[in-house]
Structure 1
Amino acid sequence: MKRPLLLFSAVFCFLHLNSTAQVADRTALAKSIRSDSRLDTIQARAIQLLTGFSAGTSYDEVWIRDFNTFIKGSLKIQPKEKVRTMLLMFFKIQGDDGNIVDGVVDSAKANGGYKYRYSALLPGWAAHKNTVETDQEFSLVQAVKKYVDLTGDVSILFERVGAKTILQRMEDSFAYILKDRWSEKYGLVKGATTVDWGDVQPEKGWGVAINEHTKWSVDIYDNAMFVIAINDFLAMKPKAYQTQKDWSALAATIKANVRKHLWMSEAQKYRPHLYLNGSPFSKTFDEDKILYSGGSVCAVLAGFNTKKEVENINRQLLAAASKEKHATIGFTVYPPYPESEFPNMLPYSYQNGGDWTWFGGRMIKGLVDYGLVKEAYAELIPMVDRAIARKGFYEWYNVQTGEPKGSGDFRGEAGVLFDAVESLRQWAAKN
């Protein structure tokens, strides 16, 4: 009888020591996060920039896909009434079919070449919709959820804009997607073909508007964003509120269809596109080899993957970044599309292989959510160090030269870095 007791004691000691070591590791990591002055610096600089609502100081427009990513930081420095007013503007100029615009701008500055729309509910303002995107509706709902969570102001949900409440208008935006941006073949959201989360079509010309050359496709980014928005809507609506549709069932269906049609299990990555009316690329071009970072990050945030799959996705992002001297996990796509396939955007430029902290920074929360905190901290630091060294928040960076590109005061990057630090600090406070 002694041997089983000895074996039990040995196993117990091993488990106890292992558990103790894990606690010590977590404590040390939490201490490092709490004491890292770089995180204080980046949050302080971000807050200084988030006094406005446009995408950056070189832009006149307020774009909802950008605002959604820095609204948390905005609420740290802006009166909640001002933030609320900005959110309501997008509902006041909502389309009759439920669609949400891309951006709003002072009508006196509406000279960007877009097809502008106006509304009697929003005098003095103009708006435009980038029609190759399919994320404006989802971005607005997600932004409202962040606002409600941070302010506790649920009254915005019952605010009437015209004859409808904000709750009704959010559902109308979902209904627009199902009517105008839905693939019955795959049971998934569709949109124009772009690079990952991008807003430009491959063909030469005005790439932000659907035209006779548009190739419709299904991708991971749009569908992940929709599921996040549905979950946000269901989380903030009152229990007694009767929805227009069983949105929870739809979210489950989308997740199942994503796993069926877009997730490539053997490669442990997402397929870039499924085409509905032909591909814009040559028959010899193997697009499935391209890694989409932004869409993959959003899929992680939407809860589409297991922890093991998230680890594999993260390893692939790190491997892609290691290919270029100045890249981080924000490296949009790897390898970039060659010019012959995507003439509207050269390789290693903008969304075709540029490095965007705006999306790389979102992976930090995803990693923290899956318990991969050590990885999250290690992968955030290069982005933080770069922003501090450059003394600004830039839209994107050239991975070959390290040169910053676009607006030097890009609020999207500031907001995402602020949120990334916040997610790490919240974990550290508990550990």
Structure 2
Amino acid sequence: MDYEIIHLPKDKWKGTIIPIKYTTDKYYDVTVNKTDKGFAIDIEKKDFNEPVTHSPEECDFPDKLYQDHWENAYAWGVMVDDELIATIETDEELWSNRLRITELWVSEKYQRQGIGHALIEMAKEQARRERRRAIILETQSCNVNAVDFYQHEGFTLIGMDTCCYRNNDLKRKEVRLEFGWFPEEKKRLNREEVEIRMETRDDWYNVELMTQHAFWNKHHLGCDEHYLVHKLRQDKDYLPELSRIAVKNREVIGCIMYSKAKVIDGESTHEIITFGPLCVEPKWQGCGVGELLLRETMKLAADKGYKGIVIFGEPEYYPRIGFKTCDNFNITTADGKNFDAFMGFELAKDSMKDIKGKFYESEVFVDLPKEEVEEYNKKFPKLEKLRFPGQWD
């Protein structure tokens, strides 16, 4: 079937009961025995004497979307004829940098059509974007179909609670099982493994396609950074002599684009530089490609005598490269503001000590009309626009 996964806003869907109901003739029997050397735990699939049904009606606390104890919950769903037929909800476990799936449900009529898999993929994509170290979830030992489904989706058993629901969960054959999924650990690339060079006209399409993949649905629905790359090449402020792409196995996996910028203080104008976008193909993110591009081009800029770089960027990333918030340099945005994502870097010792004022980048960064972006998107394979936590609008 054709379907669309949509975000379910909290203000509309909070308190919606999820009618999770299932009937099973099997269960995973959990036994815990004390031994001389510790404990022996055995989990074995067995048959019930007769089918068992579980439904929301038997619970004092039925499953609901956006329950108060899930403070950072975010939900998606699938609608058919204005009826919710499937949903997934996640919540950030900030202290451990894990993502918890708090709800997952597909109406019985629509099961085994790939919807559950697609919803799990949404959670995996969220975890990748937020760089979570794991996804975790809870199910019951008697929900055999769910246990088997999660294993098929790459989850593995990570723990259990033998008295989560009642004190006789072991006897009732309804033990809470915790499952976890772990993103693939990525190996950092060294300089010898990546070709870093200026782009050629033959690279243009692949650089823009890679940029689109890197930013798609990151800050907004879709993105416009690939169109920015296209327009930046034609702009008078573009600095191709500093800009570089990263190539591995003849595939463009990253790029950094530099342009002229200025800091204005009354009658005084100070020439500096900025970069953007700096991006990496999603499958190569976390491998150090961005840092390789950045460090190599910063050295190029320093060798050419540029004094400093000012950017709008991710405050969790750039400070470890040496960037500082611009209040350290007496520089503000054009409207006089400072914030964590507004950062600068001196390309030589104290090279920006005499620079102060308001920062201005090329007008090309704001001259990206949505209708032009949509028209430009037709050059590339169609991508789905999806809502994720942390988007700006």
Question: TM-score when scaled to structure 2?
Answer: 0.29
Greater percentage in helix: 1
Greater percentage in strand: 2
Structure with larger RCO (C-alpha < 8 A, sep 6+) = 1
